[in-house]
Structure 1
């Protein structure tokens, strides 16, 4: 059907081509509508170097045979944008773009803006409307605008939906079933957020979604789009935020995807040295093209707009910042100033955060960044990247290295568990124990721990206790809460059968109690980003592998004293300094028999005496079991919540 020049807004086309169309998904792609008195589907595609663009599908035998049945698109002036209207087409129609390149070569491409794709291994796009869902999460959406995340508890449960629970190979739970099973479990365990590995459509299960083809299509592995909306909605109804891993650093090379979309490097850089990501066998986006900026910025807002996602964890930021990240010498390049920073990527990341916070100031924008690039969580107007959180990869690497060391040798590497406090307030940090640490031969968290079977559990309980009381928000990958013994097997469900064994079930109950204590005691999260929220009591006892410190809430609203023993030697009497006299109540003992510990006696209440210790006017004398963490609360400051 012939279309008029007004079929697509000239303003939208201008904004798209200048990198300023922030809701491009409303213009581009396939949209059911009425035009010229007929119901059908409008198609809009960006292919500036194409000689011809057509839409093919079941309705045209995919361009085979009589080509007159294909829908030819028309280019709007010199904008590089092609448009057309297919009368009689309806939702559910499968389609692709047939693109003829400058030299006459034809290729079939999935729609970069498609809202739904076929289940792999099929690759067609599907005409889908995302309108009409009646959201029932209004209270949450209003409430999240009021409470800033910095002085709130944040316990994130990281999930790969396909392998959280699985009935059999490739028999995934669908979104709607997960809306009940997963959300109820997260609530039972006391988490505040779910973070989902990428849900953008991807061809290979084993990429876990990090190598995408359909950036606007929620993967069909787990059912239709409304099912994902139900999952997010029910999480919100239960008071749980939902975060999504978002991959804007690279995309896969599959023929039907973004690679050489119109016969030329379009979404990727024209310089192959800049485009190639040899570490992953993928291609980097070209952030210097304004249309690519419109595509990516719109995609970030799309997940917040359409699916009510509460924030994005931006993957592989370090690989975006450095032009030569993990590249051989032959592929190394420099920027226009002779340096190796990717100036266009830096501009994109700043623009990303400015755009998201313009429309959703309450969002969580988290950088998964292993680099030492400064000011990642500083505002862009101060020269920062503008994220509000950064994963603390340094803390994670140091702590895992320390915990994997046999307790007999830990005194020689004591600084690994104390160094993080030198930079703990340089950024707003999340302390991640993520999927990346339990795959590719790295072993599970439990199996990283040294010692006997029982000592592995004791070490992991101790590790979790220190992690929970260290400044910074928290993230734990699924299975860590019950001590998954094997590393994560992405093609199988978690080893839920382990809960039949006492130590694994005890670990799950311990983590649940630790989560409960964390969320109910403001001292453990109100001061995460200010130095006044943390104070060492004894930081230098390397010989005994002991640490003690205090977390403090604002306005004297509570305090928690933590005592961590990383050695195999326990003590029947150990004195530490405290700030005030009076009674101290035991909040947590990781060595309780109920948690799988030895059950060594530790009193529920001790009295602080006027005996100076560790620079404090008073002190308490307590037993400290081996490989344990004890948490104490001044009695007069008890919250009453327990």
Structure 2
């Protein structure tokens, strides 16, 4: 068939695994791979297109002529077309020209397994391989200590193309530039992890990366694949883990993408009730098809393997596991048991998590799941979905709603701010203040705060102080840490000019210190998902809008006392019951003058008294700052 030489990277065992949906390293076989055959350099191409009549590789090496390089279909009914093309090498652009048995239309598709794609709006794939030398052996060797569920886990969520821009050139920072600026910034702010909104190639900027066409290629907007590896490497060099947003829930209908790939519904479900997402106008993967499951799980492992990624935050899990997600009556069909659960999607999610943790036990998968679906972060062996953590959306909504209320009304809503502690230990929860909360007219976080400017910043400090002392891991979206007033705009840089003003500089320093408090005190991170790590002192002082609690680690000496005052009144001579006698030291106070507060702090050690209070044998008297949080520790 033209200048294509019969050749294969697949063994019979590979094909059997592929058909059964158990081949989890498909990126080593499908796609384009530079090889040497009989002393001749060239590229091996392989693509899955079972409904094709013929498949050609068209590219800059054959003037995009479909007659020149037609692939051979395998004899084993796998639907894989393959072949070796001499002289084609790294940097060659190409697509697959597919003549379908189903439709008369000529179909041109990008390679689903391409390691690099053209810069949008161009849509071709690029033959690519690199010999990047990693320098993160030390990180990978000790990653289990930094990445486990007892370690501090404070995540800075970043949209790479809008974090910071070169103003004079009106462009985003490249991967290389981010490896200097962003890495040092995250380190300075004392975050333990960074999370990138999707960096897989995507055609449409307003999708923020959530509509993916190049699942195996980091976006070319910011540089080459090896330059993205360098960025990850730099984070690891500085002791910071890297999490990727990953989207196995849906994909766009762009002509060069996965939709109707070979004229048939190959990757998407054939039934629109299961295969089309009405909210996002996108196609939904067919979790019933073995080869599609293998594609997705291979993609998850690809980023962990080839890019040394430390965690995957799985987007829109609820949309996958519910048949009636965002659908009215009559727009969905119940499962075989009459329920609304998508049994195949649930099965896929379990298989995904089992495979990830089997191969990479020191990474984390994190579910963005917005419902009360049970046991999302419990092991599959006991019926759970198998994620390491789950976003605590209920906490996020209740907290932002509470803090948006005028302080004089908060005493009537004390149960809203304490309610999360009634269910916080049902899952391994991550507390997120994410990008979704600062767009589409919701206002910025500080924009929600009531009162004058001083009260807004004080509210913001106590909100984050409460967040970082609440059980669970943490996530902040970029801009939250400098109290950005404007909503996030994906086309613009963050408002770094705000740091010319003391309230914003002080707040940035506050977040850095809060991360340090969280990292350095085991009581705040050692038992984040169990009742043993938390104990109420008082939750019912709604008249003063005060609540107090213990945070506990494995060792009793690490125990902390946390007091939150959500009112604008400084409360002098406020008594708190404690479990033992001793001398207490205030180790953190959000009202300190260095943070822009009114400096109602307790600099001197405080001795407990044998006075029964809060059902405790001992108690102490202290001063509570207005709109402030205080943290105490026994000397």
TM-score, with normalisation over the residues of structure 1?
A: 0.96
How far is the alpha carbon of 1:601 from its aligned partner? 5.0
CA-to-aligned-CA distance 1:438-472 (integer Å, 9 cap, x gap): 11111111111111111110100000010010000
Separation in 2, partners of 1:371, 1:324? 13
When residues 494 and 150 of structure 1 are mapped into structure 2, their CA distance, relative to the original with a 3 A threshold, is same
How far is the alpha carbon of 1:413 from its aligned partner? 1.2
Whether the 8 Å CA contact 2:20–2:290 is kept in 1: the answer is yes
- Residues 270-279 or 162-171, more deviating: 162-171
Across the aligned residues of Structure 1 and Structure 2, the Cα RMSD in angstroms comes to: 1.4
Residue 17 (structure 1) aligned with residue 19 (structure 2): yes
CA-to-aligned-CA distance 1:470-514 (integer Å, 9 cap, x gap): 000111111111101111111111000000111011100111111
Separation in 1, partners of 2:155, 2:503? 23
Whether the 8 Å CA contact 1:46–1:80 is kept in 2: the answer is yes
How far is the alpha carbon of 1:71 from its aligned partner? 3.9
Separation in 1, partners of 2:230, 2:370? 34
Residue 177 (structure 1) aligned with residue 177 (structure 2): yes
Separation in 2, partners of 1:68, 1:194? 47
When residues 109 and 170 of structure 1 are mapped into structure 2, their CA distance, relative to the original with a 3 A threshold, is farther
**Which runs of structure 2 are paired with 1:171-570 in the superposition (5 Å)?**
171-570=171-570
- Structure 2: stretches of 5+ with no match in the other structure: none
When residues 170 and 372 of structure 1 are mapped into structure 2, their CA distance, relative to the original with a 3 A threshold, is farther
CA-to-aligned-CA distance 1:323-359 (integer Å, 9 cap, x gap): 1110233422221222110011001000000100111
How far is the alpha carbon of 1:597 from its aligned partner? 1.2
Separation in 2, partners of 1:2, 1:110? 19
- Residue aligning to 1:141: 140
Separation in 2, partners of 1:451, 1:192? 33
When residues 203 and 2 of structure 1 are mapped into structure 2, their CA distance, relative to the original with a 3 A threshold, is closer
Whether the 8 Å CA contact 1:250–1:282 is kept in 2: the answer is yes
Whether the 8 Å CA contact 1:279–1:327 is kept in 2: the answer is no
- Residue aligning to 1:640: none
- Residue aligning to 2:617: 617
Question: Helix, strand or coil for the counterpart of 1:562?
Answer: strand
When residues 494 and 148 of structure 1 are mapped into structure 2, their CA distance, relative to the original with a 3 A threshold, is closer
- Residue aligning to 1:59: 61
How far is the alpha carbon of 1:547 from its aligned partner? 0.5
Question: Helix, strand or coil for the counterpart of 1:152?
Answer: coil
Whether the 8 Å CA contact 2:472–2:529 is kept in 1: the answer is yes
Question: Helix, strand or coil for the counterpart of 1:348?
Answer: helix
How far is the alpha carbon of 1:98 from its aligned partner? 0.4
**Which runs of structure 2 are paired with 1:4-43 in the superposition (5 Å)?**
4=6, 7-43=9-45
Separation in 1, partners of 2:379, 2:323? 23
* Matched residues, number: 631
Separation in 2, partners of 1:557, 1:570? 29
- Residue aligning to 2:158: 159
Question: Helix, strand or coil for the counterpart of 1:540?
Answer: strand
Question: Helix, strand or coil for the counterpart of 2:427?
Answer: coil
**Which runs of structure 2 are paired with 1:552-631 in the superposition (5 Å)?**
552-631=552-631
How far is the alpha carbon of 1:395 from its aligned partner? 0.8
CA-to-aligned-CA distance 1:575-614 (integer Å, 9 cap, x gap): 1111222221111111122111122353342221111110
How far is the alpha carbon of 1:381 from its aligned partner? 1.2
When residues 26 and 583 of structure 1 are mapped into structure 2, their CA distance, relative to the original with a 3 A threshold, is same
How far is the alpha carbon of 1:310 from its aligned partner? 0.5
- Residues 4-13 or 120-129, more deviating: 4-13
Separation in 2, partners of 1:241, 1:148? 8
Separation in 1, partners of 2:190, 2:604? 24
When residues 7 and 399 of structure 1 are mapped into structure 2, their CA distance, relative to the original with a 3 A threshold, is closer
Separation in 1, partners of 2:133, 2:600? 55
Question: Helix, strand or coil for the counterpart of 2:21?
Answer: coil
When residues 33 and 6 of structure 1 are mapped into structure 2, their CA distance, relative to the original with a 3 A threshold, is closer
How far is the alpha carbon of 1:362 from its aligned partner? 1.0
Separation in 2, partners of 1:573, 1:212? 58
Whether the 8 Å CA contact 2:469–2:562 is kept in 1: the answer is yes
- Residue aligning to 1:87: 86
Q: Which runs of 4+ in 1 moved over 3 A?
A: 1-7, 70-77, 145-148, 600-604
Separation in 2, partners of 1:311, 1:433? 18
Whether the 8 Å CA contact 1:51–1:104 is kept in 2: the answer is no
Whether the 8 Å CA contact 2:158–2:196 is kept in 1: the answer is yes
When residues 6 and 435 of structure 1 are mapped into structure 2, their CA distance, relative to the original with a 3 A threshold, is closer
Q: 2:51 aligns with which of 49, 52, 74?
A: 49
Question: Helix, strand or coil for the counterpart of 1:162?
Answer: coil
Separation in 2, partners of 1:405, 1:361? 43
Separation in 1, partners of 2:14, 2:181? 42
CA-to-aligned-CA distance 1:272-309 (integer Å, 9 cap, x gap): 12111011111110000000011000000000000000
How far is the alpha carbon of 1:147 from its aligned partner? 5.7
Separation in 1, partners of 2:533, 2:601? 30
Question: Helix, strand or coil for the counterpart of 2:426?
Answer: coil
Separation in 1, partners of 2:259, 2:147? 40
Separation in 2, partners of 1:596, 1:567? 17
- Residue aligning to 2:97: 98
Separation in 2, partners of 1:76, 1:195? 44
Question: Helix, strand or coil for the counterpart of 1:538?
Answer: strand
- Residue aligning to 1:639: none
- Structure 1: stretches of 5+ with no match in the other structure: 636-642
CA-to-aligned-CA distance 1:121-165 (integer Å, 9 cap, x gap): 0000000014x2111100110101356611111111111111110
Whether the 8 Å CA contact 1:118–1:126 is kept in 2: the answer is yes
How far is the alpha carbon of 1:104 from its aligned partner? 2.9
TM-score, with normalisation over the residues of structure 2?
A: 0.97
Whether the 8 Å CA contact 1:252–1:259 is kept in 2: the answer is yes
Separation in 2, partners of 1:478, 1:314? 19
Whether the 8 Å CA contact 2:610–2:619 is kept in 1: the answer is yes
Whether the 8 Å CA contact 2:73–2:79 is kept in 1: the answer is no
